[in-house]
Amino acid sequence: MAALRGRPNRAPARAAAGAARPAGGHRRRSAAGRLARGPGAPAEPPGRRRAPARRGAAGPRPGAEPGAALHRQRRARRRELVAEDVHKATGATIRVGIAGEGALHAATWREVSQRYAVVDAENESEVDIVLLVEDGWDRQRHRRWSDRSRASGIPLLPAYVTPGAALIGPFVSTLDEGCLECVEQRRLRARNDGTDYAKVLEAHPERMASIGGQWLTGFAVDLLSALIVREVDRFAADPATPSTRGSLFRLSLDDLRTSTHRWLPDPLCDRCGRLPLDTREGAEIELQHRPKASVDGYRVRSLAGEQDRLRDVYVDSEAGLLRAVYKEGRSVFPSSSAPMGLRATTRTEVGYGHQLDFSASQLTAIAEGIERYGGIEPGGKRTAVRASYRELGPDALDPTTLGLHTDELYSRPGFPYPRYHHDLTFNWVWGYSFARQRPILVPENYAYYGTVYRNTRDHPFVYEISNGCALGGCLEEAILHGILEVAERDAFLMTWYAQLSVPRIDPRSAPNPEVPLIIEHIESFSGYSIEVFNITMEQGVPCFWVLAVDRRGMRDMPKVLCASGSNLNPEKALISALMELGPLVSRPPEFHRQNRPRVEEMLADPYAVVSMEDHAALNGAPEVFDRFDFLLNGSPVRQTFAEAFKDYYQKPKNADLRDDLSETLQQYVRTGLDVVVVDQTTPEHRAGDFACVKVIIPGCLPMTFGHMRRRDRGFERLHRIPHELGYRDRPLTDADINPHPHPFP
């Protein structure tokens, strides 16, 4: 009410001045007015004229039911009693401004005027709440009133009609972030046809503003006006209690089904976004004590009991960050997906989950979708630095340490990435270097792989994806899991590019009995034989490469499929890799048979490999099965878990996640590598108590998709480590690097 806008309640002053209104807040009528309208007749909206009474209509019509007048009187009395109850609950009346037009506006005016004083919505000094009510969806009007509400502090409740549905809310006030533009953009991105729908809105604004009213019926108008009044009653009782705070109420106009939809304010909203500047001070990281959920795990909390809460916060078909969570089709393991529309592009990002039950797979899909949201573009801070590396000097990360494309690729016609040089100007964001123990600047389009969708003036100088992006229940958890992803992908590519004959692991030796059971299930379901290889690199982070090999000659199926996984717990690392392998072996022969012409194209030209799916499809062809000889016919060594990961099984387990993270950071710094962290956490992440980061480890091999986007040159470590680990008798040269597209799925 008034207190919400920081001004005193004027009701007592009005009462003292003799301006008090009867209980319920409606204006006192003259006796003549009451007589003319009849007992209990509602006040009329401004500008509406009554039709002249028909001659002889003063009394009951012949044959009319004698109780009709009594029924009207009782209904009017019930309204007066409700008004009195509201007045008693609030202690004072409120003044309601009602803007808009149409049948719904008129019905709302009649209902509200029975309880409260209806005043001029334009008069900011005399209104406590504004209702914006219309039979259509005038987007420009919505923006004007939303801007006005935020500027004046006067709460706003919209009610409008779109094609097929009427919406009430959200309640916009200074108590909450967000505006009507936020809601509109969330709703557009939540639609499966959002791009086409937005085009129609822009091309036919007047038609789209009015077409919804054609769906309105008298019953729908009565229902909606009653719901609007209920929200005003809630506001009158307590400005913090309207049910449309942070949510929308939707009435489907074809079947009158109702539903409530949560939404999150958009921190990048052009009208109300208030993100702080990205600063050096804000990038400082001081690791905190974080008790773990279990000593053999690396999370501070389990999401198992949070599915309902996370769905409520993030998943909504009307206005959610994630449109829905779907159960995927035939698969060896329960699999789920969670699609998410993006800003300024027709692209859709999808979070996937593959677990041993659908509940867990759906949670994983939600978490991965939220993680991807953080990696697309800065959503927690506003980028403030634009310069070249030469201008920034020691305050910045040298982009050449990230690995560039080869001269051959830069010279190819149509290659989309500009050749890097130290005078190239672009945006930078602040990250934290654990080797230097201070904040440093990182190229924005490397820290956020989706900036190209909005920032068209800066094309990235290298191809980069979600390498090192991770979500956690706290910053420390997110950093640790970002490191684990970098370690996994680096180990896979090191093994492939250097063709390392790494040892096999006997999965039956795993202390966790789930490991051999999962492998047996995959083999029984798919017909593939599973081979497990230890690809752990010099930092000692357990990493596995799993191969599904067709030894039965299955028709139309790939000869080999690959996946990888990492974790500080070796058994969990292998289970992670097996979960990733599951969906790949589940695809039916028809899928691969239809894709065969594409495979033949890539066999003839490796630069035809342009997508993630292409890498697995090409390397599954029987014609190139010999590319895996270095694995399948390489080292005769076969390790047990106890032999391969002796340190893990012998040392005491930490109860604090900070200790696990600190030890892992030391392993990288000790081997000459820096760990740089960019905090990608947004207000949307905080709504679910999450943190999100991008971990960058210069010198580790970055995963790329598309052979023309490959980045395998300029990595001194790629030439050195195979020799130091004993896989090669000398350091590698460029000529030793595997020239074929990698098989990472």
Q: What gap in Å lies between CA 272 and CA 738, rounded to an integer?
A: 51
Rg (CA), the chain: 32
Q: What gap in Å lies between CA 448 and CA 468, rounded to an integer?
A: 11
The residues, any chain, with a CB within 8 Å of residue 381's CB and separated by 6 or more, are 275, 276, 277, 278, 279, 282, 429
Continuous segment of H or E residues that includes residue 351: strand 348-354
Alpha carbon separation from 248 to 165, 261, 418, 617, 743 (Å, rounded): 12, 5, 45, 44, 46
**CB distance 116 to 148 below 8 Å:** no
Strands 469-472 and 504-505: unpaired
pLDDT for the residue 149: 95
Query: Which regions in the chain score pLDDT beneath 70?
Result: 1-92, 455-457
579: nearest Cα among 235, 336, 382 = 336
Strands 638-639 and 560-566: unpaired
pLDDT for the residue 493: 98
Q: What gap in Å lies between CA 376 and CA 452, rounded to an integer?
A: 9
Q: Which two tokens stand for residue 549?
A: 């090999």
Task: Please tell me what DSSP assigns to residue 726.
Answer: T
Q: What gap in Å lies between CA 470 and CA 694, rounded to an integer?
A: 7
pLDDT for the residue 77: 54
3 state SS of 60: coil
Helices (H), 527-655: 570-585, 589-604, 612-619, 629-632, 641-644, 646-650
Helix axes 307-314, 358-376, angle to 10 degrees: 40
The pTM is what? 0.86
In tens, the pLDDT along 402-443 reads: 999 999 999 998 898 999 999 999 999 999 999 999 999 999
Q: How many CA atoms lie within 13 A of 691 on its CB side?
A: 21
Helix axes 194-203, 180-190, angle to 10 degrees: 130
**CB distance 424 to 388 below 8 Å:** yes
- Ranges of each domain in the chain: 79-262, 292-376
pLDDT for the residue 696: 98
Q: What architecture is domain 292-376?
A: 2-Layer Sandwich (3.30)
pLDDT for the residue 603: 98
pLDDT for the residue 2: 39
CATH number of 79-262: 3.30.450.80, 1.20.120.530, 3.40.50.720, 3.30.365.10?
Answer: 3.40.50.720
pLDDT for the residue 74: 57
The helices-and-strands tally (H runs, E runs) of the chain is 25, 21
